[in-house]
Amino acid sequence: MAPYVGLIRGMSLEEKRVVVAFIVDSMEEQKPKDNAEIIRKKYRSLQVSPELRHLRGCIKLTEEELKDDRTQYILNR
């Protein structure tokens, strides 16, 4: 904190509030995401190729495969 003491003392009350608000916001954004959320976000941005889209409906899936997020992504495209 030593390098910032002079800077902080020279700030107005409003400027200090802005800095504190920024610090609080940055701390809230650092919540770790769970893996399922990361995977869902990743698969939402992927494009399904026309060859794969053509194959929909031609396969038989197990109950476990149907529950998989990746499989659901492909089937819902």
- Residue 1, pLDDT > 80, answer no
Give the DSSP letter of residue 76.
Answer: T
Quick one: which of 28, 36, 75 has its CA closest to 52?
75
Q: How far apart are CA 65 and CA 62, in angstroms?
A: 5
User: How confident is the model over 24-63, as pLDDT tens digits?
Assistant: 888 775 566 678 888 888 888 877 777 777 777 777 788 8
pTM of the complete model: 0.35
